[in-house]
Amino acid sequence: MEMKCVMVIDADLPAGLIANTAAVLALTLGKEIEGIIGPTVKDGSGHPHEGITTIPIPILKGNSQKLRS
């Protein structure tokens, strides 16, 4: 089964809360969904980067009414 994921966050929140909400949700997904975090990868300069997601996670906006529906 192909895994798909999207975050929908209330666009009426201040930018800092939107960023914090996305970060907290991402950490939770990484902990709870096995295989969503891939192996350490190296960039073109050879520097390692840990915790790269194995699937795209678009972040969409909505208002509180859209989120309820």
> What are the extents of the domains in the chain?
7-68
* 41-63 pLDDT per residue, tens: 999 999 999 888 888 999 998 88
Is the alpha carbon torsion for 64, 65, 66, 69 positive or negative? positive
Fold of 7-68: Bit1 (3.40.1490)
Selection from 50, 68, 67, 51 nearest residue 10 by Cα = 67
The predicted pLDDT at position 1 comes to 58
Tell me what pLDDT residue 69 has.
Answer: 77
Q: Is 69 helix (H, G, I), strand (E, B) or coil?
A: coil
Query: 21 burial class (0-12, 13-18, 19+ CB within 10 angstroms)?
Result: middle
Residue ranges of alpha helices (H) inside 1-69 are 15-32, 64-68
pTM above 0.75, yes or no: no
